[in-house]
A and B are shown apart, each in its own frame.
Chain A
Amino acid sequence: KNEVEQSPQNLTAQEGEFITINCSYSVGISALHWLQQHPGGGIVSLFMLSSGKKKHGRLIATINIQEKHSSLHITASHPRDSAVYICAVGSGGGADGLTFGKGTHLIIQP
């Protein structure tokens, strides 16, 4: 069973700061997902990656398969980025349900 650890658990930063959220997992995976959950509860998929790096607007996600570690970066953070960011891993092989980290509560203050 995969264990997914996220850090930090809570993060408060000022508008414009560079944000990094980390995710580590214990067992080899087929893909890693970064999700965003806003107050009110809806979940949006930000990235799915199995190697390297992906960029979408101000968001960047990287993964190091050998070290079983991924990071989510937010450049030029804005109060609308305030949300819970969740790392999730899929192991594949027919048992494709995701295993989730506990999430990082991010607050960006103006």
Chain B
Amino acid sequence: NAGVMQNPRHLVRRRGQEARLRCSPMKGHSHVYWYRQLPEEGLKFMVYLQKENIIDESGMPKERFSAEFPKEGPSILRIQQVVRGDSAAYFCASSPPGLAGASSYNEQFFGPGTRLTVL
């Protein structure tokens, strides 16, 4: 059973370009979380998705950032018109559906991360 997969592992973009980060959850996992780790800072929650639904996007910047988790295929975190401050490590985690749908009761498994550098 493969773990959580993220690609690309490293992404370099110039200011104003778009960045697309992909996350394939573990087999059987229907919950995906995106987290951001800015240089010298801790991890911060961005968004929580289930298949075809955004459940909680309270940690997502209001502009330029969007996320989706389609019925087929990986989850995508999209950053439009990137700026230098977007340079960070972006981690995806997945978990299986929990009892009564409460996924906090289930362990989250992390991917290796995508390191985004904006020049």
Interface, chain A (partner B; CB < 8 A): 30-31, 33, 35, 41-45, 48, 50, 86, 88, 90-103
Contacts and interface: CB of A to CB of B under 8 A. Distances in A.
* Interface residue SS majority, chain B: strand
Interface stretch (B15-23, B68-76, B104-112): B104-112
A100 B37 CA distance: 11
Interface of B: 31, 33, 35, 37, 41-48, 55-56, 58-59, 89, 91, 102-110, 112-113, 115
A31 B112 CA distance: 23
A94 B56 contact: yes
A45 B110 CA distance: 7
Nearest to B112: A42
A109 to B, nearest CB: 23
A94 B113 CA distance: 24
B43 A92 contact: no
A98 B108 contact: yes
8 contacts: A42-B112, A45-B107, A45-B108, A88-B43, A95-B48, A97-B46, A97-B47, A98-B108
